[in-house]
Amino acid sequence: MEGATNHDVIKRGYDVTVFDGPQPLNSKIKIPPSQLTTSTWTDKETKAARIVFYEVLWAPPRDVVKNRFLACFESGVKADECEAPGPNPIRPNTDYQGVLNRFAKNRLLVGGFADASIVLSNIGDVLRDDVSLAMCEIALDVVAPGSNRERTGRCDIKALIHTDEEARAINAKLSSAPFVAITHSLGSFLLLDGQIRFAVKRAEKDEDVVREMAAFYLLDNKTVFMRANQVALLHLARLQVACDDAPCPNRLLPKVEDIWSAPAELSQMTTYVAFNDHNDILGFELPPYLMERGIVGTLVNVSVRNPGWWVPVLLKDPLASHLSSDRNAAVIEGIVEGFDLPRE
């Protein structure tokens, strides 16, 4: 087979201004676009595409935000956004810091949990949109090959949908297309969250949103392999609580009937397989309570032991536990060969 790679940016079609409270920040930053790399392997004789691999990189916008508002003055990272002019110059703290303290703070908190904070903030809505647009780009390759390579604006699958018959035909083609998603860490949450939002809006009969996010039909009857995920951790910030008493003395709490809705009938049968190294500080099991909502498919947790140094009983390299699943033969075999799930 012959291979070719195309690098492109995800075109949002809008710019954003960062606020902290009701006022825009004087520290103006431009949030760069996420990137989409497409690698295609074709048959030498027929030139037909045999394998198409899409890689979504949402780190560039995340890094700019994290550096400018945290890492530049906390860990002294060297980046263009750290040199941005403004009324409040960045002066990193130069006081002595213990080696292990610096490692834990910079690698785990600044390098890890800060990302989770960004994803759960309003800026996370930009990253979620980037993932949805990437799914749109892939969907266009499926239903209208080549149509998105010459486009200069925001991806819009709605342009192909004019009638209910066209919608059903496109949805069926996306659902039947051979497609597998492989995610890692926060990328796992972003993809699953997009699928959940799509399912909710479809259940609410919001036709505009359904057409806009129709690309998520690509995940219908498919499998998503999560090399690591932070779904359970981030969903702690999604939990809601309602007051059972009326009148409720806590004015901040809504009543149960104000937020309760019957679970939607599930028609999206996505299987989520999560590979978890129990020593991974930044990885978590998929929580079974998500299935109570009726808008996600089967959740499967698979315990693995990723390569990395370890001190028996005391410690295993936390970064290797989180990052080295791509060097774990069991994970690679599970993704490539698959495995049978026992019927309950």
Domain co-membership, 316 together with 184? yes
pTM for this structure?
A: 0.89
Domain co-membership, 198 together with 284? yes
Domain co-membership, 193 together with 328? yes
Domain co-membership, 295 together with 167? yes
Q: Is residue 98 included in any domain, yes or no?
A: yes
Q: State the Cα angle at 123 between 284 and 206, rounded to 5°.
A: 85
Q: Quick one: pLDDT at residue 297?
A: 84
Domain co-membership, 167 together with 263? yes
Q: What is the DSSP letter of 39?
A: E
Domain co-membership, 292 together with 244? yes
Q: Quick one: pLDDT at residue 221?
A: 87
Q: Is residue 27 included in any domain, yes or no?
A: yes
Cβ-contact 194, 128 below 8 angstroms: yes
Domain co-membership, 117 together with 167? no
E-strand ranges in 34-93 read: 35-42, 49-57
Nearest residue to 195 via CA among 274, 268, 273, 286: 268
Q: Is residue 169 included in any domain, yes or no?
A: yes
- Alpha-carbon gap, residue 43 to 302, rounded angstroms: 35
Cβ-contact 214, 255 below 8 angstroms: no
Q: Is residue 256 included in any domain, yes or no?
A: yes
Kindly tell me the sign of the dihedral angle through the C-alpha atoms of 289, 290, 293, 297. Answer: negative
Q: Is residue 258 included in any domain, yes or no?
A: yes
- Alpha-carbon gap, residue 343 to 163, rounded angstroms: 39
Say how many domains are in the chain: 2
Q: Quick one: pLDDT at residue 66?
A: 93
Domain co-membership, 42 together with 167? no
* Residues in the chain, pLDDT under 50: none
Which structural domain, as residue segments, surrounds residue 107? 1-126
Domain co-membership, 294 together with 211? yes
Report the 10 Å Cβ neighbour count for 175.
Answer: 16
Single out the residue in 109, 126, 143 at which a domain terminates. 126
Domain co-membership, 72 together with 194? no
Domain co-membership, 327 together with 216? yes
Domain co-membership, 187 together with 329? yes
- Alpha-carbon gap, residue 36 to 134, rounded angstroms: 7
- Alpha-carbon gap, residue 173 to 220, rounded angstroms: 11
Q: Is residue 34 included in any domain, yes or no?
A: yes
Q: Which 3 state secondary structure label does DSSP give 277?
A: coil
Q: Is residue 147 included in any domain, yes or no?
A: no
Q: Quick one: pLDDT at residue 21?
A: 82
- Alpha-carbon gap, residue 302 to 227, rounded angstroms: 10
Q: Is residue 53 included in any domain, yes or no?
A: yes
